[in-house]
Amino acid sequence: MASAKEISPRQDLPVHALSTSPSASFHSSAGSFGLAGSFGLAGRIIPLANAKQLKPFATKDIKVLLLENVNQAGRDILTQQGYQVEFLKSSLPEDQLIEKIRDVHVIGIRSKTKLTARVLKEAKNLIVIGCFCIGTNQVDLQYAAEQGIAVFNSPFSNSRSVAELVIGEIIALARQLGDRSNEMHNGTWNKVSNKCWEIRGKTLGIIGYGHIGAQLSVLAEAMGMSVIFYDVSNLMALGTARQVETLEVLLAEADFVTCHVPELPETKGMIGQPQLELMKDGSYLINASRGTVVDIPALIHAMRSGKIAGAALDVYPNEPAGNGDYFNGDLNMWGNDLRSLKNLILTPHIGGSTEEAQSAIGVEVGQALVRYVNEGTTLGAVNLPEVTLRSLTMDEPNNARVIYIHRNIPGVLRKVNEIIGDHNVDKQMTDSRGDVAYLMADISNVDTAIIKALYESLESLSSRIMTRILY
C-alpha cells in the first residue's frame, strides 16, 4: 500500500479549472490549478494514512474568512492546508460582511455573525460555513442548503463548560455572591445570612435536557440537588432526575430554573410574565441558552417585585459585535434597568468560553471544513444529508470524485446515471434532506477531458444546485 509520503502531484492532469461553486468566479487561475506540490503538503490533519487528498484546485486558491476570534487550533488546521486564511477578532456589520463574503469559499463564525439569506445571496463563491460553536440559529440553514452551501458546527464541545458555569451561578445566586463582592469592591463590609441558602436539597428545574441540560443534571445531583426537567422529547433521565409533563409543572416545583433550549420560534419568549408568575416566590432564573428565550422586561419586573430572588443572564437578544462594545441603549433598551438590579449576574456570553472548549471546537470544526473542501464529505453537516465514501488511496490514481448537489425532484438520478453510467463508477452514495439531495460518486479511469465533459453535463441539468469534481 502506498503511504502518505508518496502522495505526489497529478502531473498527468493538465491544468484545468473546474468550478465548485454556483458561479464561474470560483475558477482558480489556470496558472495555479493543479500546482506541483499541492498534494502532499506537510501537516495534514486528515488521519487516514493512505488516503489520497482529493483536490480540485491548488489549496492556496481556497480563501477562508474567520470572524469572531475563532480559536488558534482551528486557524492552524486551515492554514496548514495552505488555504488563504483571513482572521478577524470580531463579527462584521452586514454591509462589510457582504463585501467580504463575496470573495471567500469558506467562512468561519461563532454566534454573532448573522448569515441571513440576504448575506448568503451575495456569497457567490461560498461552499461551506463553519459555526465554531453549538448554536446554528445565526445561519439561514435552509437557504444555505438551497444554494448547496454546507454548514457544520460543534454539537457538544462546550457543553461541559456551560454546565460548570451554571453550577457556579446556582451557588453564587443562592449566596448573593455577586452583591457581596461588589460591596467589598466598593469598600462595604456587609456580613449577612438573610435569604442566603445552601443548594443541597433544593430543586433544579432544567428546561431542555440535551447535551448541556443532561451534563448539568449529573453535576447538580452530585451536589445534593433534586433535578426535574422539561423537554419536548421523551428522554432518559440520568441518575434520579425526573422528567415532568409540562413547563408549568417545572416552574411551580423548581427553586432554580435554568434554560437550555435552542433558539426556535417555539422557544422565543418561552419565559415571559405568565411563566415568571408561575415560579415559586423567591426562586431563581438562569439563562445561558439564547437571549430571545427570556423576556427581559418581564424578568426585570419580577425581580423588582421580589418574586424572583436572583437571576443570571449570559445571553441577550442583541449582543455587541466585539469586546469592549458594552451593551447599551442602542442594542437593548433595558440595559440600565438590568444593571441596577440586586443579585443579578450578567456575563458576556461566555458559557462556552473556556480554553478546553474553544480548542476542541477549533479542531472539530476545522477538520470538518477541511474534509468537506478536500473530500466532499458531509458527515456532521447540519443542513445537508450526511454522505461519505471511503477515501481514495494512491493505488487508485486515475479516479475522480463527483459531487452533485441537486434539487430533490423525481428523475434526477436517472439523468445523473445516464451521464456517469458510461464510466466505471466504483462507488456511489446519495441521500436527501428535504428539498436538497447530495450525490457522491467515485469514478475510475478518467482523464481531464472526461472530467471536463462530466462536469459540463452535470452542470447543464435543470436540477443542479452545485457540481464539484475532485481529483
Ligand X SMILES: NC(=O)c1ccc[n+]([C@@H]2O[C@H](COP(=O)([O-])OP(=O)(O)OC[C@H]3O[C@@H](n4cnc5c(N)ncnc54)[C@H](O)[C@@H]3O)[C@@H](O)[C@H]2O)c1
Site residues (vs ligand 2HG, CB under 6 A): 110-111, 133-135, 158, 349, 351-352
- 439 CB neighbour count, 10 Å cutoff: 23
Contact residue for ligand X among 12, 94, 198, 266 (CB under 6 A):
266
Minimum gap (Å) between residue 113 Cβ and ligand 2HG: 9
Only one of the segments 155-163, 183-191, 272-280, 303-311 lies at the binding site for ligand X (rule: CB under 6 A); that segment is 155-163
Residue 261 binds ligand X (CB under 6 A)? yes
The item of ligand 2HG, ligand X, none sharing an interface with residue 363, based on CB under 5 to 8 Å by kind, is: none
Name the residue nearer to ligand 2HG (CB basis): 135 or 335: 135
The gap from C-alpha 8 to its chain's centroid, in whole angstroms, comes to 34
Instruction: Specify the DSSP element, H or E, that contains 299.
Output: helix 296-304
Which one from 253, 319, 386, 396 is the annotated catalytic residue? 319
Contact between 96 and 118 (Cβ < 8 Å): no
Q: How far apart are CA 139 and CA 129, in angstroms?
A: 9
Residues facing 106 on adjacent strands:
64, 128
Nearer to ligand X, 267 or 378 (CB): 267
| 316, three cell numbers | 441577550
Catalytic residue list contains 319: yes
Determine whether 406 is an active site residue. Answer: no
- The dihedral of CA 395, 400, 403, 409: what is its sign? negative
386 versus 459: smaller Cβ distance to ligand X? 386
- Segment contacting ligand X by CB under 6 A, of 63-71, 116-124, 153-161, 431-439: 153-161
The answer to whether 50 and 2 have CB atoms below 8 angstroms apart is yes
311 near ligand X, rule: CB under 6 A:
no
Output DSSP code: residue 224.
T
Active-site annotation holder among 290, 371, 406, 468: 290
Task: Determine if 217 is a binding residue for ligand X (CB under 6 A).
Answer: no
Give the start-end residues of each E strand in 140-189. 150-152
For ligand 2HG, the closer of residues 84 and 90 by Cβ is 90
Helix ranges, 313-447 (H): 335-339, 355-375, 412-420
Residue 175's binding partner among ligand 2HG, ligand X, none (Cβ under 5 to 8 angstroms by kind) is none
Q: Which of 286, 158, 167, 287 is nearest to 216 (CA)?
A: 167
Contact with ligand X (CB under 6 A): which of 34, 74, 108, 208? 208
Rounded to the nearest whole angstrom, what is the least distance from the CB of residue 289 to ligand X in the complex? 4
Q: Which is nearer to ligand 2HG, 19 or 289 (CB)?
A: 289
**What is the pairing mode between strands 226-230 and 203-207?**
parallel
**Beta carbon of residue 132, minimum distance to ligand 2HG (angstroms, whole number):** 7
From candidates 112, 211, 371, 468, binder to ligand X by CB under 6 A:
211
Is 185 a known active-site residue? no
Provide, rounded to whole angstroms, the least separation between the CB of residue 156 and ligand X.
6
For residue 155, the minimal CB distance to ligand X (Å) is 7
Contact call for residue 312 and ligand X (CB under 6 A): no
Residues with Cβ within 8 Å of residue 224, at least 6 apart in sequence:
199, 200, 201
Residue 110 interaction partner, one of ligand X, ligand 2HG, none, beta carbon < 5-8 Å per kind: ligand 2HG
- What are the φ and ψ backbone dihedral angles of 109, each rounded to 5 degrees? -135, 175
With CB under 5 to 8 Å by kind, the binding choice for 141 among ligand X, ligand 2HG, none is none
Q: How far apart are CA 242 and CA 209, in angstroms?
A: 11
Residue 233 interaction partner, one of ligand X, ligand 2HG, none, beta carbon < 5-8 Å per kind: ligand X
Report how far residue 259's alpha carbon sits from residue 443's, in angstroms, rounded to the nearest whole number: 49
- Residue 75 or 349: the one with the smaller Cβ distance to ligand 2HG is 349
Record the cell numbers describing residue 323, joined without a space: 469586546
Closest to ligand X by CB, 192 vs 264, is 264
Is residue 112 within the footprint of ligand X (CB under 6 A)? no
| Cα 343 to Cα 185: distance, rounded to the nearest angstrom | 15
Nearer to ligand 2HG, 135 or 397 (CB): 135
CA distance 180 to 174: 12
278 and 253 Cβ atoms separated by less than 8 Å = no
Q: What part of residues 115-144 is at the interface with ligand X (CB under 6 A)?
A: 134-135
Say which entry of ligand X, ligand 2HG, none residue 334 contacts (CB below 5 to 8 A, set by partner kind). none
Rounded to whole angstroms, the Cα distance separating 241 from 356 reads 28
Site string for ligand X, 343-372 (x = CB under 6 A): ------x-xx--------------------
The residues near 383 (Cβ < 8 Å, ≥ 6 apart) are 136, 139, 141, 142, 144, 145, 150, 151, 433
Spatial CA neighbour of 98 closest among 127, 118, 70: 118
Rounded alpha-carbon distances, angstroms, from residue 448 to 394, 439, 466: 18, 21, 19
What is the contact surface with ligand X in residues (CB under 6 A)?
134-135, 156, 158-159, 162, 207-213, 230-233, 260-264, 266-267, 288-290, 314-315, 349, 351-352
* Positions marked active-site: 290, 319, 349
